[in-house]
Structure 1
Amino acid sequence: MPRKTMIEAIRDAMDIMMERDDNVVVFGEDVGFFGGVFRCTQGLQAKYGKTRCFDAPISEAGIVGAAIGMAAYGLKPCIEIQFADYVYPAYDQIVSEAARLRYRSNGGFTCPIVVRMPAGGGIFGGQTHSQSPEALFTHVSGLKVVVPSNPHDAKGLLISAIEDPDPVIFLEPKRLYNGPFDGHHDRPVTPWSKHELGDVPDGHYTVPLGKAIKRREGSQLTVLAYGTMVYVAEAAAEEHGIDAEIIDLRTLLPLDLETIVESVSKTGRCVIVHEATLTSGFGAELAALVQEHCFYKLEAPVARVTGWDTPYPHAQEWDYFPGPTRVGRALVETLEG
């Protein structure tokens, strides 16, 4: 089976869907001739032409607004916001138009757009290139929110997102773009395991939206994570010798509550890990759901390990990340609780 980085897998997904469906169009800032700041769209304009893959002005509201109009007309835009931090000017378009179009038109129109965004830290980009805004979108009815953790899932989930008739927010952890993250380090000693790429089948395949996956079997406690934090959770469990069951959520909205409840009911303990800030982060919703559905199975309080409640620190990026030390401490304390 071919071995690919997440960048290559994402590009492959767009290539396959553009070849299969003439209505799929790709555009955003620098995605055409330049191939995107991370090269996720490299070669697509040369292959499909400037009407299928093209550069857009530096206007996120314009990019998303145009995509919504295209979708209402019958196209399937897969657009790129250069960094998730840049999406805020387009937030009104996403929330007030894309998410509501199906409902406002009583099903007369749908909005099959995918909004791709590199998210999270890992490149020392500071406050304006490193944010994790997933909770802003999981609050919005009518959207789907996806965060892949590996190349195989990234390709399958993106194909599913492009084929979905409703708007999908597709957050790509930039720390995983060039290879699986080595979660054993609290510092960027070896950020990428270059020898270990993802197994990505050729051709068309899908990973279903709304379905989590168990990355690691365990019986002592459950860890709920997504994106980069899946690797950090695995490293923390290994380093502390804890038999943790790790659930990779993959899709945050709709959420696979069944898999979560099944795991926590078995282990009786739950630790939630994400890179975004603590207050009002998606982990708060997960903690509430676990308490509501697993209260009589819980042997200890639900714990959260997250980023700080501060603007994203440039010089202290690797302290801000939940690393194996902080996550491991939470695993131990939850077991002792």
Structure 2
Amino acid sequence: MKKTTTYAAGILEAYEYLLTNHPDFFIIGQGLWSPWYVGATMTDLDKKFGKDRVIDCPVSELATTGATVGASICGYRPMIVHPRVDFMLLAVDQIVTQAAKWRHMFGGNSTAPATFRAIINRGGEQGAQHSQSLHSWFAHIPGLKVVMPYTAKDARDLMISSVLSNDPVVFLDDRWLYEKEEEYTEIEILDLNEVLPQKLRNGDDITVVGISYTSLLCEKACEHLENTQGIKSDFFDLRVLNPLKLENIIQSVNKTGRLLVVDGDWSSCGIASEIIASIVERVDLLALKSSPKRITLPDSPAPTSKALEQLYYIKEEQIIETIIDLVK
């Protein structure tokens, strides 16, 4: 019988690996000792490794993120956990103005290898101030790596790789993926500078790109279309937003002639726009059989009511309809 794991369990395994093998690693954040244990991604770590390495802190995003950056400059490899990415905005100066610029300002002679874990925790009628992702903001910043895993394996391996990177990393995980199951695999440590989008399905009709939770929707839509209409997709999960490496997607678009990017964020100045622009700049335009398209959130803050949420968030059916329209 094959062993399976979940996305949340993958994150927990990453923490156990890092705390066991890297004494310079510690975690600081809010609610790390609570029975909630950050959605079961940090269960009993404080009991197993001690409260001096798993540090529950007062509610001050600015102060705790600043302490994390300072510790990273002093030789540690710390992680700050922000239970919602929305509240990490209170610490943007420490992340964007300090950590991301540190190596550059010191000519590569000093680094700030801090990891900023921020959780996307939307839906459930939580409203506009608790439902953001903001990954495109952070991907815009030179010197700051941005990681958004979709699979349980990547949740584990990319978290380990983020902490071991010599650059500051924003690691964004999505609560809607925590129960996603897959077959267990051994740990693989990656160089974030070399991580390409992961190809999860093969096809000649269209190239589809998903990011984090939208990769789940894309994978289901691609499987449905292949089983019901014979439409076969080259499907990629982006994984790393900065640095953005698109070589294998460009190769795919040259083959299929069609491109759809699905991103659970807004269109304006978003990562979907960047992917399409970067590919159109580098692909053979004569190979395109239709204009590239994107599916994103409506240009509005997230609603609170359940009925409006049903209309607001991207659904598998939207992806299916758009792929059919592109392939016609």
Is the shorter-chain TM-score for this pair beyond 0.5, marking a shared fold?
yes
Q: Which amino acid aligns with 1:327?
A: I
Residue pair 1:220, 1:243 contacting (<8 A) in 2 also = yes
Q: Compare 127-136 and 65-74 and name the one that shifted more.
A: 127-136
Amino acid in the other structure paired with 1:322: I
Match of 2:273 among 265, 271, 284: 284
Q: 1:208 to 1:121 in 2, by over 3 A?
A: farther
SS class of match (1:211): coil
Distance in 2 of aligned mates of 1:211 and 1:161: 15
Q: Is the 8 A contact 2:266 2:299 kept in 1?
A: yes
Amino acid at match of 1:223: V
Instruction: Give the number of aligned pairs.
Output: 318
AA paired with 1:267? Answer: T
Q: Quick one: distance in 1 between partners of 2:183 and 2:224?
A: 25
1:71 & 1:238 partners in 2: Cα distance? Answer: 43
Pairwise CA distance, 1:126: 2.2
Aligned to 2:16: 15
Structure 2 letter corresponding to 1:170: F
Distance 1:56 1:296, change over 3 A: farther
Matched, 1:222 2:222: no
1:200 and 2:214 matched = no
Per-residue deviation, 1:236: 2.1
Contact 1:155–1:206, Cα closer than 8 Å, also in 2: no
Give yes or no for contact 2:165–2:191 (8 Å, CA) kept in 1.
no
> Gapped runs of 5+ residues in structure 2?
none
* Equivalent residue runs for 1:87-98 within 5 Å: 87-98=88-99
Equivalent position amino acid for 2:174 in 1? P
Tell me, in whole angstroms, the C-alpha distance in 2 between the residues paired with 1:237 and 1:120: 25
Higher share of residues assigned helix: 2
Rounded to whole Å, the distance in 2 between the matches of 1:223 and 1:123 is 28
Aligned with residue 316 of structure 2, among 301, 311, 324: 324
Letter of the structure 1 residue corresponding to residue 78 of structure 2: P
Cα displacement string for residues 7-37 of structure 1 (whole angstroms, at most 9, x for unaligned residues): 1110110111111011100110111354633
Asked if 1:301 corresponds to 2:308, the answer is no
What residue is the counterpart of 1:260 in the other structure? 249
For the residue of structure 2 that corresponds to 1:85, the secondary structure is: helix
DSSP-derived class of the 1:92 partner = helix
Q: State whether residues 201 and 235 of structure 2, in contact with CA within 8 Å, keep that contact through their aligned partners in structure 1.
A: yes
In structure 1, the residue corresponding to 2:117 is in which secondary structure? strand
Determine the structure 2 residue equivalent to 1:182. Answer: none
RMSD over aligned CA atoms reads: 1.6
What is the rounded CA distance, in whole Å, between the counterparts of 1:252 and 1:292 in structure 2? 18
| TM-score (norm: length of structure 2) | 0.92
SS of residue matched to 1:99: helix
Q: CA deviation at 1:325?
A: 1.6
Which residue matches 2:326? 334
Per-residue CA distance 1:50-77 (angstroms, 9 max, x = gap): 1111112211111211101000111111
Gaps of 5+ in 1: 180-196
Relative to 1, partners in 2 of residues 1:105 and 1:290: Cα closer, same or farther, differing over 3 Å? same
Equivalent residue letter for 2:258: R
Give the superposition deviation at 1:235: 2.2
Deviations 1:138-174 (A, max 9, x none): 1000011111111111101111111101111111011
Paired letter, 1:323: K
Which string of whole-angstrom CA distances, capped at 9 and with x for unpartnered residues, describes residues 254-297 of structure 1?
A: 12211111111111110010110122221010110111011332
1: CA distance, partners of 2:85 / 2:110: 27
